[in-house]
Chains A and B, each alone.
Chain A
Amino acid sequence: SAVISQKPSRDICQRGTSLTIQCQVDSQVTMMFWYRQQPGQSLTLIATANQGSEATYESGFVIDKFPISRPNLTFSTLTVSNMSPEDSSIYLCSVTPGSRGHEQYFGPGTRLTVT
């Protein structure tokens, strides 16, 4: 499986500010995804990060709020913009290496608290 790291691991931010989360993989992967997991809840897909093109967003998530970059096959960023307390959550990067079909692996997550 791929080794995935995320930075920062946690942060406390003021409302109205923005935070950029980085996801780094130790090998090239086919697919990269960003999920949100609120306490005690399931995993909600925010978007698929596409290498060299705009991300594909799920219903309820927009680019202005969650801009995503994927400059290459091993790195992606998610920005949470103009934050409010409702954005407090764990944000997880996930990858599908591609060499073994659909298998999907998760990064350690970024715990965001907005005050």
Chain B
Amino acid sequence: GENVEQHPSTLSVQEGDSAVIKCTYSDSASNYFPWYKQELGKRPQLIIDIRSNVGEKKDQRIAVTLNKTAKHFSLHITETQPEDSAVYFCAASSSKSTFGDGTTLTVKP
């Protein structure tokens, strides 16, 4: 089955800096790669996704890149703000999603 590895497990940045979270996947059949943000005590929320026919996608301060050949994808957050502090999960999906272990992002004011 699919295996998703996510790094780093924790990330601390200063407000205004950029944050990058990286994921690798194993199953070449995966064709959809979403990212979720989960605040403490809340449900995971879809923040951005990318499909296998696209190399990059951007939505305001967040962007995702995908390298199908290398089987890795990354989340980039620019101009970080304290409200970006949360746990971020990547996932790889064909018919069902396999999630990474999560990255706890802390943005220090």
Residues of A near any B CB (own CB < 8 A) = 1, 33, 41-45, 48, 59, 92, 101-109
Contacts and interface: CB of A to CB of B under 8 A. Distances in A.
Contacts of A108: 42-43
A43 B99 CA distance: 6
Given A42-B99, A44-B99, A59-B1, 10 more contacts: A42-B101, A45-B96, A101-B32, A102-B51, A102-B93, A103-B34, A104-B46, A104-B93, A106-B44, A106-B45
14 contacts: A33-B96, A42-B89, A42-B100, A43-B89, A43-B99, A92-B43, A101-B32, A102-B34, A102-B93, A102-B97, A106-B43, A106-B44, A108-B42, A108-B43
A109 B43 contact: yes
Interface of A, helix, strand, loop or mixed by DSSP: loop
Interface residues on B, range: 10 to 19
A63 to B, nearest CB: 18
Contact of B96 (A42, A48, A106): A48
Contacts of B101: 41-42
Nearest to A33: B96
Nearest to A106: B43
Contacts of B32: 101-102
